[in-house]
Amino acid sequence: MPERPTKQKLWGGRFTGKTDPLMHEFNQSLRYDQRMHAADVQGSIAYSKALALQNILTKDEQVKIEEGLKKVEQEWATGQFAIQADDEDIHTANERRLGELIGPLAGKLHTGRSRNDQVATDMRLWLLQEVANIQSYLTGLVRVLVERADKEKDVLMPGYTHLQRGQPIRWSHLLLSHAFSFQSDLQRLKQLIPRISILPLGCGGLAGNPFVVDREFLKKELGFDSIAENSLWGVGDRDFIVEFLMWASMSMGHISRMAEDFVIYSTAEFGFITLSDAYSTGSSIMPQKKNPDSLELLRGKSGRIFGNMAGFVMTLKGLPSTYNKDLQEDKEPLFDTVDNVSACFQIAEGVVGTLEVHADKMKAALTMDMLATDLADYLVRKGTPFRQTHHISGQAVALAERTKRSLSELTLSEYKELSDKFEADVESVFDFEKSVERRDAIGGTSRRMVERQVSILREALRE
């Protein structure tokens, strides 16, 4: 049996008194940073190999340390790891358990390494994996929006500005507007990766590694894109976390806006869509109600995510250089954000994929006054300047309102009183399908342009 090491804190040699139990609880982070157990073991195995390359460890010692670390990780993975009261964080816990498994040899692992560069490495390794997961969730959301849009191109609905009916559009055009927002989020997330994938390991506490470990080796071993070139910056930088939190805040803003659209469209007053029972709840007092709780939670989570970002930025803004214990406050907002963003994208995908569309209700909401711009465009094609046609169309709208008729019910003679450019073919204006088909420039709501958007997004997803 290996010799059981004396329990001591990683930093304990300088101190002779006991830590206040309340201070221990205040200081420890294992209750939440234990989720980085795999990243911590991965980084430690790589570091043991780097130490062996410098002859700090023999080949046999490195193998024993690696085997011990793999046993530690297996215990975490199977739920058998026994946390001890003195475990401050995931790094302390893993090193303590490694010592129990292989004896004093475990003490060599920390040679030249600080928890400062260790935790920075773990955070980046962990976040890189989570970003990969989030990319897959967000891709799923974009895909379901695109595929649904492709299948429902024939459904027309009112397009709104200021929540007032503006012009007819295709339902698919609305879905794709959200898809493009999320596709931009995917692009921005990918652009973050090189700034996350920077190796801090080998920076030591702040001044660098005195045993000149091969950091190029560590970079390749751990799969990082680049190396932190300045040790002071390497241990103290948390910009990659801030940038991820900012990205998450923007993405959740897009989730919130889509959720708000669907909340409105699912009301009895609109009746455009019905949410699946799987993503709805009832009322505790009103039996008839079907509440869009999934959408409301998606909308509400956006505020929480923004709060995580704003709070951590305030933590960072006044810190002196390199590592300060304030940086321990990076983990909870990051972990919470990753958890909630991951859940939100998956829930949103489920909502979009299962909601029911009521094309008849959308069609019934289309009114002739929404073709007032088409009426103005008709006169433009007859040679009248748009500023004049806008005014003439407005007069037609006013006349229809005053006489309680629709634009299509005004007579040709009434139109001619407004402009002699009106002819019998003015009737062709009052067709919602023709209206959307006239919007055939790139970005428009015509069938051809919707198909173009679907094609572009599908290609982006393939890439």
147 in any annotated domain: yes
- Specify whether 213 is located in the same domain as 125: yes
- Structural domain tally of the chain? 3
pLDDT tens sequence across 63-79: 999 999 999 999 999 99
- Specify whether 313 is located in the same domain as 377: no
- How is 71-120 classified by DSSP, letter by letter? HHHHHHHHT-----TT--SHHHHHHHHHHHHHGGGGGGGGTT--HHHHHH
- Specify whether 142 is located in the same domain as 238: yes
- Specify whether 204 is located in the same domain as 66: no
Q: Cβ contacts of residue 343 below 8 Å, gap of 6+?
A: none
Give the per-residue pLDDT at 290. 82
438 in any annotated domain: no
| Residue 320, H or E segment | none
457 in any annotated domain: no
Give the per-residue pLDDT at 23. 67
pLDDT tens sequence across 90-106: 999 999 999 999 999 99
Checking if the pLDDT of 294 tops 50, the result is yes
- Specify whether 61 is located in the same domain as 187: no
* Residue of 226, 283, 428, 455 marked active site: 283
Residues spanned by the domain of 77: 12-111
Give the per-residue pLDDT at 285. 66
Give the per-residue pLDDT at 115. 94
Last residue of a domain, one of 311, 342, 364: 364
Last residue of a domain, one of 364, 386, 407: 364
pLDDT tens sequence across 154-182: 999 999 999 999 999 999 999 999 999 99
Q: Cβ contacts of residue 133 below 8 Å, gap of 6+?
A: 342
pLDDT tens sequence across 182-222: 999 999 999 999 999 999 999 999 999 999 999 999 999 99
54 in any annotated domain: yes
- Specify whether 347 is located in the same domain as 372: no
Say which range, 14-18, 315-319, 408-412, has the weakest mean pLDDT.
Answer: 14-18
Distances (CA, A) of 193 to 6, 128, 131, 308: 41, 7, 8, 20
Give the per-residue pLDDT at 360. 98
Burial of 420 (0-12, 13-18, 19+ CB in 10 A): exposed
Checking if the pLDDT of 443 tops 60, the result is yes
- Specify whether 332 is located in the same domain as 416: no
Is residue 432 very low, low, confident or very high in pLDDT (cuts 50, 70, 90)?
Answer: very high
The pairing of beta strand 226-227 with beta strand 198-199: parallel
The percentage of residues in the chain with a pLDDT greater than 90, rounded to a whole number, is 90
What CATH number does the domain containing 270 carry? 1.20.200.10
- Can you say whether the dihedral through the CA atoms of 169, 170, 173, 174 is positive or negative? positive
**What φ, ψ does residue 412 adopt, rounded to 5°?**
-60, -40
How high is the mean pLDDT of the chain? 94
Checking if the pLDDT of 15 tops 90, the result is no
> Is 91 an annotated catalytic residue?
no
Looking at the chain, the number of H-run helices and the number of E-run strands are 18, 6
- Specify whether 195 is located in the same domain as 173: yes
- Specify whether 26 is located in the same domain as 98: yes
- Specify whether 223 is located in the same domain as 257: yes
302 in any annotated domain: yes
Last residue of a domain, one of 77, 111, 145: 111
Checking if the pLDDT of 138 tops 90, the result is yes
> Is 29 an annotated catalytic residue?
no
Q: What is the mean pLDDT of residues 98-120?
A: 97
- Specify whether 343 is located in the same domain as 376: no
Burial of 199 (0-12, 13-18, 19+ CB in 10 A): buried
- Specify whether 265 is located in the same domain as 148: yes
Give the per-residue pLDDT at 28. 75
Checking if the pLDDT of 4 tops 60, the result is no
